[in-house]
């Protein structure tokens, strides 16, 4: 057996997974969300996140081992998210992973969080071959990237200001929805009238693959302020219509810039990953448009779009199978460029 224990603790989710690399099988996948902890503050409080990871991580690992009936001596490696992310939260995951690896005489490997998001799709039955073009949309990043192989990334475009997930969260907050706003805004957007407002499509006229979402967020805030009345029912409808207009604009920009990236790369395979790839309107619009354009579209299942440890296990399994493991001291990285990564065989 060749089983990897993986840990994710880069932000507000404590997660742990066990993955059998020989049978290509996920044996355990546990997530503890810190939503309730951060909700009163309207966003993630980094120090509280770190402290909660300390409390939850070991019990979660115990739970994963006991539910899958495994002992530490049956494991072959320990993986964790090395960065990018909240530095204190990363330190907790890295310290626990490396201490366990030391105690159990196992190799460990710290992986790049965005590479893990990109490799989440490899946990599905339908996996893309290399090369492919990927849209990576999360709370901290919005990237179009050409993936030539594991560790071989060319960034084609990215956001010049807010990440799209961040724009979802901030817009939701402005409409009075509670943290984390993205999923709540998207649920509300399913019920609105898409023809009432036409929101701007930022940077579409620029012939590149870059994005900007902060203006869209500001436009939403002013539309909400300008159109509110004294009637609560009307305001509720207004909120829905604004949520829909925002979501339509964001999805449209993501889709058109992705189409441009595919034109550039000539790829016929597209991967959409990261928390915002759980968005239903986005999934439907992308599937419809790109399938018609003759492109195969791959998504991770919903649970593997947002942060999880199964994707960390997958990225680590792919690298460890080439003999890669941690060397030297403990090093986490709050900022870490995806393009600085190398394939495992190049070290
Ligand atoms: O990948 P992720 O879990 O964490 C980061 O690496 O940032 O992404 C979280 C982001 C948040 O901004 C959240 O609001 C957004 O993904 N998100 C969504 C949806 N589900 C999560 N945004 C829009 N629609 C959704 N259904
Ligand atoms: Zn993430």
Over the stretch 86-108, which tens digit does the pLDDT of each residue have?
999 999 999 999 999 999 999 99
The verdict on pTM exceeding 0.85 is: yes
- How does pLDDT run across 190-231, given as a tens digit for each residue? 999 999 999 999 999 999 999 999 999 999 999 999 999 999
Closest residue by Cα to residue 150 from 310, 295, 19, 346: 346
Give the number of other Cβ atoms within 10 Å of residue 260's Cβ.
18
Q: Ligand 1: distance of its center to the CA of 260 in Å?
A: 23
85 lines ligand 1 (CB under 6 A): no
- Residue 44 Cα to ligand 2 midpoint, Å, equals 14
Ion ligand 2 residue ranges (Cβ < 5 Å): 138, 307
* Stretch (H or E) spanning 198: none
For ligand 1, atom 13: residue with the closest CA: 182
What does the pLDDT read at residue 45? 97
> What is d(CA 278, CA 276) in angstroms, rounded to the nearest whole number?
5
Biggest CA pair distance of the chain: 66
Cβ–ligand 1 distance for 276 under 6 Å, the answer yes
Sheet strands (E) in 174-292: 269-273
Tell me which residue has its CA closest to atom 10 in ligand 1.
139
Ligand 1 lined by 274 (C-beta under 6 Å): yes
């Amino acid at each position: 057996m060749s089983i990897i224990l993986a840990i994710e603790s880069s932000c507000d989710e404590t997660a742990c997974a066990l993955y059998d690399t020989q049978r290509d099988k996920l044996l355990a996948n546990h997530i503890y969300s810190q939503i309730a902890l951060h909700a009163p503050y309207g966003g993630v409080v980094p120090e509280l996140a770190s402290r909660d990871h300390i409390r939850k991580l070991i019990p979660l690992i115990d739970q994963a081992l006991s539910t899958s009936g495994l002992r530490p001596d049956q494991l072959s490696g320990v993986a964790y998210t090395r960065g990018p992310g909240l530095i204190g939260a990363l330190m907790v995951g890295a310290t626990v992973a490396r201490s366990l690896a030391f105690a159990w005489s196992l190799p460990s490997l710290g992986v790049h969080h965005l590479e893990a998001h990109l490799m989440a799709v490899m946990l599905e039955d339908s996996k893309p071959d290399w090369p492919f073009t990927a849209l990576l949309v999360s709370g901290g990043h919005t990237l179009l990237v050409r993936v030539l192989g594991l560790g071989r990334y060319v960034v084609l475009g990215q956001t010049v200001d807010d990440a799209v997930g961040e724009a979802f969260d901030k817009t939701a907050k402005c409409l009075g929805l509670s943290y984390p706003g993205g999923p709540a805004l998207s649920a509300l957007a399913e019920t609105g009238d898409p023809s009432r407002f036409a929101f701007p499509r930022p940077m579409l006229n620029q012939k590149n693959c870059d994005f900007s979402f902060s203006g869209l967020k500001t436009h939403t805030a002013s539309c909400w302020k300008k159109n509110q009345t004294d009637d609560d029912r009307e305001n509720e409808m207004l909120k829905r219509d604004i949520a829909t207009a925002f979501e339509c604009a964001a999805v449209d920009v993501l889709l058109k810039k992705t189409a441009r990236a595919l034109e550039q790369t000539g790829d016929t395979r597209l991967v959409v990953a990261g928390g915002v790839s759980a968005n239903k309107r986005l999934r439907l619009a992308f599937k419809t448009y790109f399938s018609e354009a003759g492109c195969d579209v791959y998504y991770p299942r919903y649970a593997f779009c947002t942060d999880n440890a199964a994707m960390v296990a997958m990225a680590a399994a792919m690298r460890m199978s080439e003999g890669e493991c941690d060397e030297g001291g403990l090093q986490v990285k709050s900022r870490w460029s995806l393009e600085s990564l190398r394939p495992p065989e190049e070290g």
